[in-house]
Amino acid sequence: MLTSSIILAAGTLPRVYAYDILYLTVTTDEASYYPLSGTSVHIYGNLTRNETRVTDGLVAIYVKDPGNNPYAIRTVNTGSNPPQTPYVRVESIFPCDSDGNIQYTFKQGTLANFKLTVINYDIFESREALLTVNTYDPDDMPFCSGSLKITLAPDSTSVFIVGIPIPSDATTGIATAYGNAYTDWPSLGGTPHCIEKSTQYVIEAKTLSYQSSIPFQTNENYNTTFHIKPKTRAGTYNVYVTANYEGQIATNSTTFKVGMLGDFDQDNDIDSVDRIYMARAYRTYWQTGEIIDPRCDFDEDNDIDYADRITMGRLYRDYWYP
């Protein structure tokens, strides 16, 4: 309504639009997720100018975890990449050792390094950039990110190395790292400098445990998807999106929740009601062999046995006697 009244008001002037209205929406497919392995979180929305979809814009999507730490930071386009050459561009990202020599395999519990080559095409001015590297594990779960705020000299090509610690319990297999450059953190209004670059690397060699899920269908013009797991931190996640389209900036934000493991009725506690879910699933499994609630198979070995009951007991104890 606000938009149309502005256009009407502008219509009283002779064919003058005071300014274009760039607008960015953002939503998630669920308000709350239970952290079962393979659960997808879809974040999507529309970038529009004067209520028309922008088909060649870039959108920054930044997710902060419940501890306010960077969780995922990505740049996606709204159909195709912008045709213009940006001032600042991430030319490439490669996994490497601490000296910058290409290295594709990293062991759990060690530091993986990523080499970013960044160009400032502006021949007159130096440019500020926030460089980010965001690693996703072989199951598409974001697990770490590193960042660097830098000033790029005019007309220069620079190389930076960002280290990412690989958790000792990281899923092994082929993982992905995404390299991006922003004007600042999207939560502070920063927008993408350029399109995203990515590279693959190996956390110990092993076969993939999950196949990629079916592509997400949405009518909106941008989206990103990642997976969560039982070890994903419970709580509220903040999502920030920003875009700079032909000099205009639009921002928006939303939140989603990741539930507690063992909180089957999703009412933010692990109480006797949740234990009833567990007891029922356990009993049914031993009577019929059927898994009526896969969430009760905590160790994901296709049974609901004593080991799973012990896990539930521990979650219950940890909740009441932290």
Q: Which positions lie near Ca ion, rule CB under 5 A?
A: 263, 265, 267, 269, 274, 297, 299, 301, 303, 308
* C-alpha torsion 97→62→155→249, nearest 10: 180
Minimum Å distance from CB 305 to Ca ion? 5
DSSP character for 283? H
Number of continuous H segments (helices) and E segments (strands) in the chain: 3, 19
Minimum Å distance from CB 312 to Ca ion? 11
Nearer to Ca ion by C-beta: 37 or 77?
A: 37
How far does CA 4 lie from the centroid of its chain?
34
Q: Which two tokens stand for residue 20?
A: 């274009």
Nearer to Ca ion by C-beta: 175 or 281?
A: 281
Minimum Å distance from CB 168 to Ca ion? 23
Nearer to Ca ion by C-beta: 155 or 299?
A: 299
Minimum Å distance from CB 97 to Ca ion? 39
Nearer to Ca ion by C-beta: 56 or 303?
A: 303
Q: Which two tokens stand for residue 159?
A: 């190389």
Give yes or no for a contact between 259 and 233, defined as CB atoms under 8 angstroms apart: no
Tell me whether residue 152 is exposed, middle or buried, using C-beta atoms within 10 angstroms of its C-beta: 0 to 12, 13 to 18, 19 or more. buried
Give yes or no for a contact between 280 and 295, defined as CB atoms under 8 angstroms apart: no
Nearer to Ca ion by C-beta: 205 or 273?
A: 273
Minimum Å distance from CB 230 to Ca ion? 12
